[in-house]
Amino acid sequence: MNDTQLPEAVWRKSSYSGEGGNECVEVAILGDGAAVRDSKDPQGGYFTVPEAAYSAFLAAVK
């Protein structure tokens, strides 16, 4: 888990996350993959995945 900040990141979450929106993950697309963090604790860190892994994940869950 990375605890440094990504000031250039634009974090987003699914529109299916509901009104509260604090029980899901947020994703920021980076130049070489994606960063993922917990919406309940956005300052708590994030992890990154390579572009190919993130693309495979999206294909599997659609």
Helices (H), the chain: 51-61
In a domain, 27, yes or no: yes
In a domain, 47, yes or no: yes
Judge whether 48 and 27 are in contact, CB under 8 Å.
no
Place of tokens 């929106």: 21
Which residues, other chains included, contact 58 with Cβ-Cβ below 8 Å and sequence gap of 6+? none
> What residues does 34 pair with on adjacent strands?
29, 49
Q: Residue type at 13?
A: K
Q: How many folded domains does the chain comprise?
A: 1
In a domain, 26, yes or no: yes
The pLDDT, as a whole number, for residue 3 is 64
Q: Residue type at 45?
A: G
Range of the domain at 27: 15-61
Instruction: Judge if pTM exceeds 0.85.
Output: no
Residue 14 has pLDDT above 70, yes or no: yes
Place of tokens 């888990």: 1
> What are 20-60's pLDDT values in tens digits?
667 788 999 999 999 999 988 888 889 999 999 999 999 99
The pLDDT, as a whole number, for residue 47 is 94
In a domain, 10, yes or no: no
